[in-house]
Homo-oligomer: A and B are copies of this chain.
């Protein structure tokens, strides 16, 4: 019983931590700031997370679990090729507006603070982004193999463009409170896919 209750408390606390990280960035999530947010004692939190680093890595793991559940897994159920590439963008857009991340995508919110640091949290964050870029690259490569995109499309390049358009749009639109941003991202994406799809000659 205690074990189940402990696991359910941990899960609730991680939900608070993820919400907080989406607003202030992962680097600002500490036992102290989380205790305030989750209305728990610091000692209560130390029972679940031995250190700030352990907490931050647990938040990243939680974010990856939800990202796989809400973005990657649904896209993998779509038809191989262009439909799957589209599903990845659609699902990412929903992810970046998920109720459980009131400050938007936790990865975008955390990168700038961590990129100049060293250590396991930075490394883990970099791994999550390498995996996401690889997922996009594989989906684009499949679309090439299926004949949906031209054979001379550079899968890594196209994946890079989709990801950076999405991240750049997310970053700027949250600052400028630009409601047209998702539409701008979709128009950019459609234009880019059209170029991948239709032969130039």
Q: Which of B24, B25, B113, B195 contacts A191 (CB 8 A)?
A: B195
A-to-B contact residues, CB < 8 Å: 23-25, 28, 102-104, 108-116, 122, 125-126, 129-130, 133, 154, 157, 160-161, 163-169, 171-172, 174-176, 184-185, 187-188, 191-192, 195
- Bound together, the chains give a CA A16 to CA B30 distance in angstroms of 27
Indicate if the CB atoms of A187 and B157 lie closer than 8 Å. Answer: yes
Contacts of A188 in B (CB 8 A): 157, 160-161, 164
Indicate if the CB atoms of B175 and A169 lie closer than 8 Å. Answer: no
- Bound together, the chains give a CA A185 to CA B192 distance in angstroms of 14
Given contacts A111-B175, A164-B164, list 18 more A-B pairs with CB under 8 A. A102-B116, A108-B112, A108-B171, A111-B174, A112-B174, A113-B113, A115-B175, A126-B175, A133-B176, A157-B187, A161-B165, A164-B165, A164-B167, A164-B171, A164-B188, A165-B165, A167-B171, A195-B195
CB of A88 to closest CB in B, whole Å:
15
Given A111-B175, A167-B171, A175-B126, check contact A116 B161 (CB 8 Å).
no
Contacts of A161 in B (CB 8 A): 165, 184, 188
Q: Which of B116, B172, B195 contacts A164 (CB 8 A)?
A: B172
